[in-house]
Amino acid sequence: MTDTGLELGASDLDHSVGGFAKENRDYYTGEFEKIQGTTGFPWSWNTMAAVVGPLWGAWRGAWGFFWTFLVLELFAFVQLGRGLWGELGADQLAKVERLTANIAKREQQAKEAVAAGDQAAADGALKIAENLKKVVVSAQEAADKAAGEASTILLIGIALLIAVKVIEGFYANIAYEKQYLGWRANPDKVQAGPNTGSAIFGGILLVAIWPLTLFRFTVTDPDKILSSLTGGFLGGSVPITEFPVKKEFYASWAKKGDAGFDFLANEFGTVFNGVTATIRAVLDFLEIILIQTPWPVVMVVIVVMAFRLAGPRVAVFTAASLLYLSFMGLWELSMITVALIGAGAALCVIFGIPLGIWFGKSKRAYTFAEPVLDFMQTMPAFVYLIPIIAFFGTGKPPGVLATIIFAMPPVIRLTALGMRGVPEATKEAAVAFGCSRWQLLMNVELPLAMPSIMTGINQTILMSLSMVVIASLIGAEGLGALILEALQYAAKGQGLLGGLAILFCAMVIDRIAQGMYRRKTEGQ
């Protein structure tokens, strides 16, 4: 021990390790000192842990150790069991039996065909029987070979068990020393010393897991043997290979779900129609601009917009992409797609930004919204396509709606994030100069949150694009429908060309949006 207080003396450590280990204090003090004194492998052996394995972990509260070696030992035991009493090759033997029966059936068919005078059918059946015989031979060989492997598997099992025990013995103290460090930092949460209760709990887990698993993997037909073993008691019909529940249970619940959706679709029909009408209005407006306006006008406007907003390089890329779309004859489909995305993204932004502002300001609202947003983003699109069809029918507006559900969360989240990221000090200063809430929002919060909001809009646009193909499943036309068609007929070329078209649309929109924002920020 030194007077500087910088080095922890051995006696201090002793005391603390002793308090942690509670039993075998001196042993653990010595071993931990060894572990802490080396940078290499400490070679610290714990016989107790090696002998009782996972139970030692449970007793000492080292649950990571417990679970790891529960699985490893079980694996070794399964090998041992297979070597000792497992009927190896049983599955192959069963196959032989099944095939032999099949061959007999085919030969019977052939005989009947001959009797009926249908020589061709008889030849066919005989040919099949011939082929099956070859398979039987190879299966028989495999079964014999497997039976011969029993002793090898037994040896492997023994070797595995010994290896696991050795690892347990050497690893136990290392794991326990880690637990000791955790205990020092968090003495109330980490178990110190052995505990009979947790040892019993570990024992129960072992009894629940080991025998049944061992039984399942070392016996050929566990369900049959189990029912014959417990016949009277379990009624002979409780399998362990699959959960014993009847299909009707699921079907009745699914039927209830159907009824619920029908009820909602009937009751709130007006609301759903209103939503559809709104989306259709936005969509129509965009389609007039993009499709009904003559194509040279639209192309020129897009390229000039790219040039003005994002610079010459993006303009060149845009022009090239547009040429690709038009020469492949995909111009109109592309514009339908862009209108679809545009409507989706516009509605996302119109509703997403105010929601984001609200969630950014009110912690409580955000707490409620967060699971809904997670749900919208993680729920596979196919799942909510079904209720969308139920409520809104098929066609473009439901497609836009599906897009909105998937693409709205990023703009909401990133707006909320941006709002929360506005420094308190800046807001406070604005309030100190007499800002009203509205002035604060318009002059301070929104401008400072703008980078985050722009990122959100960009994300939303790109996610809308990724929904194009899925939306086509419920009848939204455009490039998505083209690809869906290609998928149905395995039309590789069509799929590739359509995919490239979507990619170019996405890149043009993304580059223009990003370039626009970059120019704006560079302007500052």
Where along the sequence are the contacts to other proteins (CB under 8 A)?
423, 425-426, 428-436, 439, 443-444, 447-448, 450, 524
Residue 305 or 430 having the CB closest to other proteins: 430
DSSP 219-266: SSSHHHHHHHHHHHHHTT---SSS----HHHHHHHHHHHHHHHHHHHH
What is the spatial distance between Cα 443 and Cα 464, in angstroms, rounded to a whole number?
A: 30
Residue 189 or 363 having the CB closest to other proteins: 363
Spatial contact of 150 and 86, defined as CB atoms under 8 Å apart = yes
Q: How far is CA 204 from CA 41, 94, 256, 269, 370, in A?
A: 33, 36, 40, 56, 39
Question: What is the nearest approach in angstroms of other proteins to the Cβ of residue 357?
Answer: 17
What is the spatial distance between Cα 446 and Cα 418, in angstroms, rounded to a whole number?
A: 8
Residue 18 or 451 having the CB closest to other proteins: 451
Question: What is the nearest approach in angstroms of other proteins to the Cβ of residue 68?
Answer: 43
Max Cα-Cα span within the chain: 109
Residue 230 or 436 having the CB closest to other proteins: 436
At 259, the amino acid letter reads: A
All residues at 6 or more sequence positions from 198 whose CB lies less than 8 Å from its CB, including other chains: 58, 59, 61, 191
All residues at 6 or more sequence positions from 488 whose CB lies less than 8 Å from its CB, including other chains: none
Residue 34 or 420 having the CB closest to other proteins: 420
Residue 350 or 442 having the CB closest to other proteins: 442
Question: What is the nearest approach in angstroms of other proteins to the Cβ of residue 438?
Answer: 11
* CA atoms in the 13 A half-sphere facing the CB of 301: 8
Q: Taking the CB of residue 73, how many other CB atoms lie within 10 A of it?
A: 19
Residue 290 or 353 having the CB closest to other proteins: 353
Question: What is the nearest approach in angstroms of other proteins to the Cβ of residue 522?
Answer: 12
Give 434's DSSP letter. Answer: T
Question: What is the nearest approach in angstroms of other proteins to the Cβ of residue 425?
Answer: 4
Spatial contact of 346 and 517, defined as CB atoms under 8 Å apart = no
Sign of CA dihedral 386, 387, 393, 397: negative
Spatial contact of 383 and 325, defined as CB atoms under 8 Å apart = no
Question: What is the nearest approach in angstroms of other proteins to the Cβ of residue 369?
Answer: 25
Residue 242 or 424 having the CB closest to other proteins: 424
User: Reduced to 3 DSSP states, what percent helix, strand and coil does the chain have, rounded to the nearest 5?
Assistant: 85, 0, 15
Residue 247 or 364 having the CB closest to other proteins: 364
Residue 273 or 443 having the CB closest to other proteins: 443
Question: What is the nearest approach in angstroms of other proteins to the Cβ of residue 426?
Answer: 5
Phi and psi dihedrals of 256, rounded to 5? -60, -40
What is the spatial distance between Cα 85 and Cα 162, in angstroms, rounded to a whole number?
A: 20
Question: What is the nearest approach in angstroms of other proteins to the Cβ of residue 373?
Answer: 28
Residue corresponding to tokens 């653990």: 28
Question: What is the nearest approach in angstroms of other proteins to the Cβ of residue 450?
Answer: 8
Question: What is the nearest approach in angstroms of other proteins to the Cβ of residue 431?
Answer: 6
